[in-house]
Amino acid sequence: MPKVLVSDSIDKAGIEILSQVAGVDVKTGLPPEELVRIIPEYDALMIRSGTKVTQETIEAAKNLKIIGRAGVGVDNVDVPAATRKGSVVVNSPEGNTIAAAEHALAMMLSLSRHIAHANPSVKSGKWERKEFMGVEVYKKTLGIVGLGKIGSHVAVVAKAMGMKLLAFDPFISTERADQLGCRLVDMDLLLRDSDYITLHIPKTKETAHLINAEALEKMKPTARIINCARGGIIDEAALAAALTEGKIAGAALDVYENEPLEADSPLRELGKNLVLTPHLGASTAEAQVNVAIDVAEQIRDVLLGLPARSAVNIPGMFPDTLEQLKPYLLLAETLGNLVSQLAGGRIDFLNVRLQGELADKNTQPVIVATLKGLLSQALRERVNYVNASIEAKERGIRVVETRDAGVRDYTGSLQLEAKGSLGDHTVTGALLGSDEIRITNIDGFPVNVPPTGHMVLTLHRDMPGIIGNLGSLLGSFNVNIASMQVGRKIVRGDAVMVLSIDDPLPDGLLDEIRKQEGITDAYSVSL
């Protein structure tokens, strides 16, 4: 009988499911060296946030088929090491959806009616009815930043409460927003017109301090903001200043840039216009049961030889199939990520053209890998090989697959054509040899570029001085160029330039690049 190690506390419902197919050992609080020592005995490992599954642990495992994280993120698991080892990594991306959405709504109502501050007032013997005059949410405008699963549930409930809904999400189609009763708008309009703003987005380079002093200045003095998503999306110092100065009416926070919240945080000094809770978004009895059951069922299924439904790495492939397709999967994910960043906004249509020998293969995993890359900028760790197709469908992205075995410039190549709200873009890539990726065409311009971590792409006139001026500009900002290539169709016509750089562009530099004479447009890409 297989053996499962449960190294963090999980609900007993999960243990009962695992016991159907395996012997279960519950050993919590294991030191890292002890986990490494005993892991060779086990076929599966179930964890929450307490256990760190390192490369050393995974390499020590001899029979580990699956690692299950009873929660959303998998930051405490070395996923690449698990993938190389052939272990499936699963999580429960929807287990706490309702809990998180309900907490955001509860925070909004508590903030509106001063519940958090009225309660201790009464318990201390006071009766301050005038002090705690509240406001109604009925017929108020709620701005939802991020219409994923949690934001969508907030929208459904808020609409039922009689609220008007605005939404900002560059990766959601107008049709999907309409289904939820939301009007898609840009971020500036949402900030200006909303009575309440609730955040439901991951923390990324683009969303860090999205709500800063400038954003807070745009909000109504009667507006209130709620963050139950991720700490760091709001500039806490700027928020404290705005609340102190009366620039906005209130805020409710469940997450913070540093957790636990520092003793000297200015947020601790504020009064009834601020509600704080200690990261309780997923802390419901139901959510803990849901994630335990969800992950335990997936572990059970994998031990029985069935596929996992929420794998964050490549599920359900035999090693020989994985080895054959692995280079193409990486190519597809890279190109999907690239075309998403070039498109910059909502994508409505994606044509995946499989060329050469790739057109003759069973390439459904390649399509999925393309969508995973395409959505990775918006969803980060929430998108995987299992849910990428569903997420694309929910966002109204129409995917068309085209096969052309007659194209033989390379052994096998992949072309992606994306059409979206900000324009159309095409990228093509191929394998050089067995596993070396090359970007071979960008928007119709031939190139031969290995993808790197940080790149700058420009569309410009093919004229003297362009390359030198751009190099000088980057040099003045201490940006080091690792490589450069230009692609053009005709002499002195339009061209593209691809620069590989050592570090991300400093803030504001992309706008300066676009101002250079002869440059039509520019893009910063991180892969």
Same domain, 406 and 510: no
Last residue of a domain, one of 400, 435, 450: 450
403 and 486 housed in the same domain: no
Task: Write the DSSP string, 202-256.
Answer: ---TTTTT-B-HHHHHHS-TT-EEEE-S-TTSB-HHHHHHHHHTTSSSEEEES--
Does some domain include residue 420?
A: yes
According to the model, what pLDDT value does residue 362 have?
A: 67
Q: Along the chain (527 residues), what's the average pLDDT of each consecutive run of 10 residues?
A: 95 96 96 96 93 95 94 82 83 88 98 95 94 96 94 97 96 90 96 98 88 97 96 96 97 93 93 94 91 95 85 60 72 94 90 84 81 86 71 88 75 87 91 85 94 94 91 93 92 93 92 93 92
Examine residue 281 and state whether it is found in any structural domain, yes or no: no
**b/e per residue, 273-291, with b = 16+ CB within 10 A?**
bbbbbebebbebeebbbbb
Residue 282 lies in a domain: no
Query: Do 85 and 117 share a domain, yes or no?
Result: no
What was the pLDDT predicted at 319? 46
What are the phi and psi torsion angles at 293 (to 5°)?
A: -65, -45
| CATH code of the domain containing 152 | 3.40.50.720
Asked whether residue 297 is domain-assigned, the answer is yes
Do 389 and 251 have their domain in common?
no
For 169-179, give one letter per residue: b (16+ CB within 10 A) or e. Answer: bbbbbeebbee
146 and 206 assigned to the same domain: yes
Taking the whole predicted model, whether its pTM rises above 0.85 is answered as no
Query: In 3-state terms, what secondary structure has residue 29?
Result: coil
Distance, in Å, from the CA atom of 206 to the CA atom of 202, rounded to the nearest integer, reads 10
- Is the domain of 163 the same as that of 238? yes
> For residue 165, which of 180, 187, 175, 150 has the smallest C-alpha distance?
180
Query: Of the candidates 253, 276, 299, which is a domain's last residue?
Result: 276
Residue 516 near residue 470, CB atoms below 8 Å:
yes
* Residue-level pLDDT at 275: 97
Query: Quick one: 463 and 434 in the same domain?
Result: no
Total residue count of the chain as it appears in this document: 527
Nearest to 255 by CA among 288, 283, 287: 283
Are 374 and 404 in the same domain?
yes
**Catalytic entry in 69, 230, 395, 438:** 230
**H or E element, residue 401:** strand 398-404
Whichever domain contains 460, its CATH number is 3.30.70.260
Alpha-carbon distance of 114 to 273, in angstroms, equals: 8
Give the whole-angstrom CA distance, residue 243 versus residue 222. 11
Strands 88-90 and 66-69: parallel
**Which pLDDT score, from 0 to 100, does residue 87 have?**
86
Active site residue 230: yes
Catalytic site residue 37? no
Q: Which helix (H) or strand (E) holds 3?
A: strand 3-6
**What amino acid occupies position 373?**
G
Q: Which of 183, 279, 380, 488 is catalytic?
A: 279
Same domain, 12 and 84: yes
User: What separation in angstroms does the CA of 331 have from each of 49, 88, 244, 368, 430?
Assistant: 32, 21, 51, 12, 7
Write down the pLDDT at residue 316: 45
Residues 293 and 406 in one domain: no
Catalytic entry in 16, 217, 259, 517 = 259
Q: Amino acid identity of 330?
A: L
The answer to whether residues 102 and 181 belong to one domain is yes
Question: Is residue 82 assigned to a domain?
Answer: yes
pLDDT at 322: 53
- The predicted structure's pLDDT at residue 335: 96
- Cα angle at 407 between 403 and 409, to 5 degrees? 140
18 inside domain: yes
Domain count, the chain: 4
**Residue 216 to residues 209, 227, 254, 274: CA-CA distances in angstroms?**
11, 14, 19, 15
Whether residue 265 is contained in a domain is answered as: yes
pLDDT of residue 308: 81
- Decide if 176 is catalytic: no
Q: Tell me: do 103 and 83 sit in the same domain.
A: no
Q: What is the residue range of 488's domain?
A: 452-527
Q: Specify the CATH number for the domain of residue 392.
A: 3.30.1330.90
How far from chain centre, in Å, is Cα 444?
Answer: 29
Kindly state whether residue 185 falls inside one of the protein's structural domains: yes
∠ Cα 76 81 82 (to 5°): 80
Going by C-alpha positions, the residue among 349, 356, 350, 355 that lies closest to residue 370 is 350
214 burial via Cβ count (<10 Å: 0-12, 13-18, 19+): exposed
Q: What is the pLDDT of residue 321?
A: 55
- Token duo for residue 218: 């745009």
Q: Pick from 400, 417, 450: which residue ends a domain?
A: 450
Query: How crowded is residue 19: how many other Cβ atoms within 10 Å of its Cβ?
Result: 13
